[in-house]
Structure 1
Amino acid sequence: MNRHDILITYGSEPKTMTRALLERMDLAAMIGDRKASIALKPNLVVAVTPEGGATTHPQIVVAIIEYLQEHGFNHISIVESAWVGDSTKEGFKVNGYPKISRTYQVPLIDVKDDAYIHKTVDGITMEVSKTILETDFLINLPVLKGHCQTAMTCALKNMKGCLSDRSKRMFHTLGLHRPIAALNKVRSADLVIVDGINGDLDFEEGGNPVQTNRMFACIDSVLCDSYGASLMGFERKDIPYIGMAEALGVGEGDLDKAEVIQLNQPSDEAPFHPTGRAGYLAKHTNADSACSACYGNLIHALKRLDEVNRLKNVKQQICIGQGYKQVNDPSKVGVGICTRGLGKSLTGCPPKAIDMIKFIKELE
């Protein structure tokens, strides 16, 4: 696996999906030294389980630990810090991490209790977890989801859990974007495995999940977030910290240079059944056996259009799903390769939300 690769797998079993990614990238060869210290950094921003779209599925962590131990790596830790005002230990508890720790003899490290090292980048001085800075190989396990202040959060922002609470507060006073970029210049992940199974549509703390049944892996955190932004219907300019991190030399976010490798097809997924805010957006769709990945991208695209008051211009429902494979109807429009027989169709399996937005705007 090289820095321009994006590995993607679809499914509903996080442990199986994670294993497929690890074997395809040959993680053991990537790390090399069996004596290397390895830190797993999930997203446990609040003490809730993954169903709400806020936190990393713990079976992803289990799959990585099992793989590493099978390949002779035994210096593994799970490192995280909840947001200010919430308990990391409670987040560990509600997600079953104490049992994982006992079963695999892997310590849980609450960054709130860790020692910190002061680092300065771009004029910003921050207190960073000593454990994170001293680890040999850092595996970042973010959830791809919306965020009320930065529009989205994925690899780059998930590193904020490596800070002291004092530095987290300071980051917010500085507007988040510039300090997030600076933090990743101090320490960015050696590998990112993104939990994109059901990230929240709008908020970091979850509550309105959108099922996409997808995981992807990257070496480059900037490339990872550029790709994640496109899946959620954002242009790179909508997420300023991506470009700022690239300018600092953290990575390269040009998706034209990326090699996107799909390990399987999303047609294996169960149909998506949106609720809440996603349910409101789904009224503009006409789904027939739609795959979660494709439908989830459409929901994100409709959300972006709604934000700029252009959803009202969508005069007909957008068809989507495998039920349209044999349909030839010039009066209908659709997204996804299954709708190629309709009057107007956006191909792709699945097309990204950013491409769906452009397609839908052209229908107006």
Structure 2
Amino acid sequence: MRENEILHWFGTDPFEAGRELMKASGQWQNWGRDELIGLKPNLVVAKKASSGATTHPAFVAGAISFLQEKGFRRIQILEGSWVGDSTKRAFKVCGYNKLSDKYDVPLIDLQKNSSVVMESTNGEYRICSSVLQLDRLINMPVLKGHCQTSLTCALKNLKGCIPDSEKRRYHRMGLHQPIADLNEIVRADLILVDGLEGDPDYEEGGNPVRMNLFFAGTDPVLIDSYAAGLLGLQPEEVAYIGKAAALGIGSQLSDETKLRYLNKGEAVEGIQRSVAAYRLKEIVREDGACSACYASLMRALSFLEKEDNFPSAPVHIGQGYRGTQVSGVGIGICLKGADSYAKGCPPEAAEIYRFFKDGS
């Protein structure tokens, strides 16, 4: 397939989608049968794919099935869940242990992996060693929203390829530039996107929206600028897309982009992203918050809003407040200097909900 091309497969069968997109991409034709191939799904939390948070195991199984039929035997599945959850638990809950057993493909827990310092245009970053040892990388993200960056798809999915300490640092740096820099260091050979039922609001799922769409490409900037439109966003609303393009990682959607359809299906005219996350963020004062902590806050606030018990005062969250005195309410251990704060690192949504309900 060409760099400016996006393949589409419509339907509700992730296994068939994985096989057909893998086959139609043709990328595998130039790979050596002895090369080490890594598949990187999105298992950010230990939640089933039906929640809208994680990559369907059947989608990954479809790609593996096709590759094995073509004689590829050195295949791995690699992931590092977000800080606050366990990759080992995510593998089990999300159905990847069964997938591993069925296809005899090892699961690599990147949270337990060593790391290597690598150089990018904008500085040094740590990358998990197992990722750097791959000959080929297949990036298999979920098309979904994100409470801080608005979108998470191809570019941001590679954040699972770094150690937890580096994930915290990315948040202190504001996410967008380090995500772009990461993709300068780690390049996927193929991107297969699970758009079956991602959550358009939150990366941790909970409000899945049926799209019945899977798509593929080789350019992560092109994929993400296209994905942004599917969620009703402009690419410029997702800063890391433009930053990645500026680094020469890829090109954004244009009149030159070729959309190729492998089967018949309803055209996706823009699955409009819910405004809930934007509305809830109006009272939040965020400075370097980790995704797990921020998502828990967003979920708790959505519950409180439904009960008409929404807090009126600003809520502070993030590593940038660590060690400082803050007037008002804080979320997480980084805000222990606030007048009152919800404890935890990260605190669960239920804990934050009780914190506000108890009148703090």
TM beyond 0.5: yes
1:306 Cα deviation after fit: 10
* Amino acid paired to 1:135: L
Instruction: State how far apart, in whole Å, the 1-side matches of 2:68 and 2:210 are.
Output: 31
The answer to whether structure 1 residue 217 and structure 2 residue 216 are counterparts is yes
Instruction: State how far apart, in whole Å, the 2-side matches of 1:173 and 1:202 are.
Output: 22
1:53, 1:145 within 8 Å by CA — same for their partners in 2? yes
2:230, 2:272 within 8 Å by CA — same for their partners in 1? no
* Amino acid paired to 2:193: V
1:2 Cα deviation after fit: 1.1
Q: SS of 1:246's equivalent?
A: helix
- Change over 3 Å in CA distance of 1:307–1:164 after alignment to 2: closer
1:255 Cα deviation after fit: 2.5
1:243 Cα deviation after fit: 0.7
1:74 paired residue number: 73
2:292 paired residue number: none
1:187 Cα deviation after fit: 0.7
- Change over 3 Å in CA distance of 1:247–1:298 after alignment to 2: closer
1:104 Cα deviation after fit: 1.6
1:18 paired residue number: 18
Q: Deviations over 1:152-204 (max 9, x none)?
A: 10000000000000000000000000000000001121100000111112111
User: In the TM superposition, what are the counterparts of 1:191-270 in structure 2 within 5 Å?
Assistant: 191-267=190-266
2:176 paired residue number: 177
- Change over 3 Å in CA distance of 1:237–1:26 after alignment to 2: same
Instruction: State how far apart, in whole Å, the 1-side matches of 2:109 and 2:42 are.
Output: 12
Instruction: State how far apart, in whole Å, the 2-side matches of 1:158 and 1:188 are.
Output: 12
Normalized against structure 2, the TM-score is what? 0.74
1:299 Cα deviation after fit: 3.8
- Change over 3 Å in CA distance of 1:21–1:123 after alignment to 2: closer
Q: Deviations over 1:226-259 (max 9, x none)?
A: 1101111111110110010111111111332211
Query: Gaps spanning 5+ residues in structure 1: where?
Result: 268-290, 309-364
The answer to whether structure 1 residue 130 and structure 2 residue 144 are counterparts is no
Instruction: State how far apart, in whole Å, the 1-side matches of 2:148 and 2:66 are.
Output: 36
* Amino acid paired to 1:21: L
Instruction: State how far apart, in whole Å, the 1-side matches of 2:107 and 2:55 are.
Output: 15
* Amino acid paired to 2:145: G
Q: More deviation in 97-106 or 118-127?
A: 118-127
User: In the TM superposition, what are the counterparts of 1:1-364 in structure 2 within 5 Å?
Assistant: 1-29=1-29, 31-267=30-266, 293=268, 297-300=270-273, 303=274
1:78 Cα deviation after fit: 0.3
- Change over 3 Å in CA distance of 1:117–1:197 after alignment to 2: same
1:77 Cα deviation after fit: 0.3
- Change over 3 Å in CA distance of 1:298–1:100 after alignment to 2: closer
Q: SS of 1:45's equivalent?
A: coil
Instruction: State how far apart, in whole Å, the 1-side matches of 2:278 and 2:37 are.
Output: 41
Q: Deviations over 1:75-134 (max 9, x none)?
A: 100000000010000000012222222222211000011121101324332210111112
Instruction: State how far apart, in whole Å, the 2-side matches of 1:56 and 1:169 are.
Output: 23
Q: More deviation in 155-164 or 115-124?
A: 115-124
1:226, 1:255 within 8 Å by CA — same for their partners in 2? no
Instruction: State how far apart, in whole Å, the 2-side matches of 1:122 and 1:170 are.
Output: 17
Instruction: State how far apart, in whole Å, the 2-side matches of 1:307 and 1:102 are.
Output: 42
1:137 Cα deviation after fit: 0.8
Q: Deviations over 1:27-86 (max 9, x none)?
A: 431x42111110000000000000110000000111111111110101100000000010
Instruction: State how far apart, in whole Å, the 2-side matches of 1:208 and 1:99 are.
Output: 26
1:22 Cα deviation after fit: 1.8
Q: SS of 2:64's equivalent?
A: helix
1:138, 1:191 within 8 Å by CA — same for their partners in 2? yes
Instruction: State how far apart, in whole Å, the 2-side matches of 1:264 and 1:19 are.
Output: 13
1:25 Cα deviation after fit: 1.8
- Change over 3 Å in CA distance of 1:266–1:131 after alignment to 2: same
Identical-pair percentage: 46
Instruction: State how far apart, in whole Å, the 1-side matches of 2:220 and 2:122 are.
Output: 22
2:235, 2:241 within 8 Å by CA — same for their partners in 1? yes
Normalized against structure 1, the TM-score is what? 0.74
Aligned residues: 279
* Amino acid paired to 2:12: S
Q: SS of 2:255's equivalent?
A: helix
2:350 paired residue number: none
- Change over 3 Å in CA distance of 1:148–1:69 after alignment to 2: same
Q: SS of 1:117's equivalent?
A: strand
Instruction: State how far apart, in whole Å, the 2-side matches of 1:2 and 1:305 are.
Output: 37
1:42, 1:56 within 8 Å by CA — same for their partners in 2? yes
1:272 paired residue number: none
1:159, 1:188 within 8 Å by CA — same for their partners in 2? no
Instruction: State how far apart, in whole Å, the 2-side matches of 1:264 and 1:54 are.
Output: 26
Alignment RMSD: 1.7
1:233, 1:304 within 8 Å by CA — same for their partners in 2? no
* Amino acid paired to 2:264: Q
2:201, 2:276 within 8 Å by CA — same for their partners in 1? no
1:227, 1:255 within 8 Å by CA — same for their partners in 2? no
1:140 Cα deviation after fit: 0.3
* Amino acid paired to 1:2: R
2:351 paired residue number: none
